[in-house]
Amino acid sequence: MANRICYPMTDVPKYLVATINVPAGVTLKAGDVVIANTNDATISGNYSVYSPEKPATLNLTKRMAIVINGGFEQLADGRRPDGQPDYSQYEFNEGDVVTVILLVPELRFQISTDCINGVAAVNDFIFPVDGAYQMDVDASVPVGTFSSLKLLASKHFRLGGQAGAQFAETFVAVVQDPS
């Protein structure tokens, strides 16, 4: 069972925190990346909710935003379950408004291995790829990619609650300066 954990480890200025409206036919998870540059025109009077774009070859030069664990999972009747959050349930569906953080240099995140497409190790880089919301991993960042994170250290995250004393494997990652 995937435990999707992605949250900032440093103070994030409010102007870097945004919300997006999950597009039709898409399920986003904590740790997924999007481009959030356009306000959602389907919401009357909207000035704060963005309509995200999928990372693609043509827009990998733009600043990305990363989906974080926000809110809490809900039961079918809308109530929050007892106990600690279930990190395997952080999936956001069409129409959900989700919190994202713009990826700017020096922000640090704790991100679980379940959020990364591939096997990662300390000193690797994670970055958005063409046609996917999830991030890929490699020893270097592909040319032309604007937003990337370097994996600084491995860390364990205690799941708690229903998971008891289980831990999820995570990395401490820092957003790189694209220059």
Note the pLDDT of residue 82.
60
Query: Could you tell me the pTM of the whole model?
Result: 0.84
**Range(s) of the domain holding residue 52:** 6-175
State the average pLDDT over residues 57-72: 81
Residue 52, in any domain of the structure: yes
Note the pLDDT of residue 156.
87
Tell how strand 135-138 and strand 116-117 pair up.
parallel
Note the pLDDT of residue 59.
81
Using CA atoms, how far apart are residues 137 and 144, in angstroms rounded to an integer?
15
> 136-143 contacts: CB < 8 A, separation 24 or more?
141/176
Q: How far is CA 41 from CA 51, 93, 136, in A?
A: 8, 19, 31
pLDDT of 72 > 60? The answer is no
Instruction: Tell me the per-residue pLDDT of 35-60, one tens digit each, with 9 for 90 and over.
Output: 988 888 888 888 888 989 899 888 88
Note the pLDDT of residue 107.
95
Instruction: Tell me the per-residue pLDDT of 113-170, one tens digit each, with 9 for 90 and over.
Output: 999 999 999 999 999 988 999 999 999 998 888 899 999 999 988 776 655 577 889 9
Note the pLDDT of residue 78.
65
Tell how strand 65-67 and strand 33-39 pair up.
antiparallel
Most confident of 26-35, 56-65, 82-91, 161-170: 26-35
Residue 72, in any domain of the structure: yes
Residue 166, in any domain of the structure: yes
Residue 1, in any domain of the structure: no
Note the pLDDT of residue 83.
57
Percent with pLDDT over 90 in the chain: 49
Name the pLDDT band for 86 (thresholds 50, 70, 90).
low
Tell how strand 108-112 and strand 6-8 pair up.
antiparallel
State the average pLDDT over residues 82-90: 65
Q: How many domains does the chain have?
A: 1
Instruction: Tell me the per-residue pLDDT of 8-25, one tens digit each, with 9 for 90 and over.
Output: 999 999 999 999 999 899
Residue 137, in any domain of the structure: yes
For residue 153, count CB atoms less than 10 angstroms from its CB and return exposed for 0-12, middle for 13-18, buried for 19 or more: exposed
* CA-CA-CA-CA dihedral for 39, 42, 47, 49, to nearest 10: -70
Write out the H or E segment, with its range, that includes residue 92: strand 91-92
